[in-house]
């Protein structure tokens, strides 16, 4: 009797397996044989594919090719090979003198917003042996940076916006500055304007067509504590800390206006846009993904709870790279959304 029961069960299992298509079987294998995981109850959600636990506190990340450049707090700049998602490897480091809070890469150089040490330019032509090219010690606390042409635009905390000529990385020269009312955490440059996430002062729009004479055009007090932002056409998406994500109409830079907001349980630190989605580094709640196919009405799509505290996110290809503070760098698959 027991043998007959076993044979019947075996036949049922074989029948079920035979009914499964190859894609289903491969999906099951990939999600149960890998040490990397996501929300397995939601196969359409973000999935963790790789992690590198940096020695410091990962505050910012920029990805170029197969390399991720991490601003790692007091540990400086960390360069990680992300070509093998299941085996992220350390390539090189440069321990800056300050507290690395932001990083961007342009050409053979990494530009680091290094806290009280200002702007640091690191030669990364040989990623295994990065070395300093130049340094400009801003008057404030450098927290964010973007590079466009010969100029680096630095969000310098209570010192506002600082514009530095980086055409000669070995000899950085101050070109202009504008001292905002708040604390500039992040900067985006688009056209003739620099858009600042200016802390309690909200969104500030500065005309930079003449880098030597930046002038304020308009501002909008977001009501929270603006930490990061992204620009899409006539819209500014502002990560407003305790106030969630705000959508601001910037069609008229002299008079930006409120359009909508999406509240969050944690703190919105930074936002990136890719396709129809806004990816928000949402502090203790990890990565938040909002559908912005209707740009004025963000709608919840997915959430991934990272191991640490999500400070910044960078999107490239199929992956979201999260600077996860004590959690280091997390590489999250998002193309299945």
pLDDT value at residue 158: 98
What is the C-alpha to C-alpha distance for residues 328 and 138, in angstroms, rounded to an integer?
27
pLDDT value at residue 37: 36
Residues 93-108 as b/e (b if ≥16 CB within 10 A, e otherwise) read bbebbbbbbbbbbbee
Q: Give the number of C-alpha atoms closer than 13 A to the C-alpha of residue 332, restricted to the C-beta side.
A: 33
What is the C-alpha to C-alpha distance for residues 88 and 113, in angstroms, rounded to an integer?
24
pLDDT value at residue 36: 36
Q: Give the number of C-alpha atoms closer than 13 A to the C-alpha of residue 243, restricted to the C-beta side.
A: 19
| Cross-strand partners of 320 | 315, 332
Name, in order, each residue with C-beta under 8 angstroms of 34's C-beta and a sequence gap of 6 or more.
86
| Cross-strand partners of 178 | 161
Name, in order, each residue with C-beta under 8 angstroms of 54's C-beta and a sequence gap of 6 or more.
70, 72, 75, 78, 80, 328, 329
Fold of 52-333: Methylamine Dehydrogenase; Chain H (2.130.10)
pLDDT value at residue 69: 99
Written as one string, the DSSP assignment of 150-190 is TEEEEE-BTT-EEEEE-SSTTS-EEEEEE--SS-B-EEEEE
What is residue 310's three-state secondary structure?
Answer: strand
pLDDT value at residue 294: 97
Task: Give pLDDT < 50 ranges for the chain.
Answer: 1-41
Q: Give the number of C-alpha atoms closer than 13 A to the C-alpha of residue 201, restricted to the C-beta side.
A: 19
What is the C-alpha to C-alpha distance for residues 327 and 281, in angstroms, rounded to an integer?
13
What is the C-alpha to C-alpha distance for residues 298 and 318, in angstroms, rounded to an integer?
21
* pTM reported for the whole predicted model: 0.88
């Amino acid at each position: 009797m027991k043998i007959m029961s076993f044979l019947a069960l075996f036949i049922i299992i074989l029948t079920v397996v035979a009914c499964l298509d190859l894609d289903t079987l491969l999906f099951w294998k990939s999600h149960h044989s890998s040490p990397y995981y996501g929300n397995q109850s939601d196969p359409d959600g973000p999935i963790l594919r790789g992690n590198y636990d940096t020695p410091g506190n990962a505050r910012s990340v920029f990805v170029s090719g197969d390399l991720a450049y991490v601003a790692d707090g007091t540990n400086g700049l960390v360069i990680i090979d992300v070509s093998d998602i299941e085996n992220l490897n350390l390539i090189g480091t440069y321990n800056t003198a300050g507290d690395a809070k932001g990083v961007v890469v342009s050409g053979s150089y990494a530009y680091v917003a290094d806290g009280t040490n200002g702007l640091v330019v690191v030669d990364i032509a040989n990623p295994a042996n990065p070395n300093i090219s130049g340094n400009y010690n801003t008057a404030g606390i450098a927290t964010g940076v973007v590079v466009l042409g010969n100029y680096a635009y630095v969000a310098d905390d209570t010192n506002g916006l600082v514009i530095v000529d980086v055409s000669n990385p070995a000899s950085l020269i101050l070109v202009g500055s504008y001292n905002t009312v708040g604390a500039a955490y992040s900067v985006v440059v688009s056209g003739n304007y620099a858009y600042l996430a200016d802390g309690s002062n909200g969104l500030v729009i500065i005309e930079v067509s003449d880098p030597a004479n930046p002038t304020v055009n308009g501002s909008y007090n977001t009501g929270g504590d603006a930490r990061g932002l992204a620009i899409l056409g006539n819209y500014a998406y502002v990560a407003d800390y305790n106030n969630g994500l705000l959508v601001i109409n910037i069609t008229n830079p002299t008079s930006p206006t409120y359009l909508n907001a999406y509240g969050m349980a944690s703190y919105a630190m930074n936002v990136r846009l890719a396709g129809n989605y806004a990816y928000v580094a949402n502090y203790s709640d990890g990565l938040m993904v909002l559908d912005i196919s209707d740009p004025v009405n963000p709608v919840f799509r997915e959430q991934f709870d990272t191991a640490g505290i999500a400070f910044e996110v960078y999107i490239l290809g199929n992956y979201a790279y999260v600077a996860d503070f004590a959690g280091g760098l997390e590489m999250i698959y998002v193309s299945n959304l």
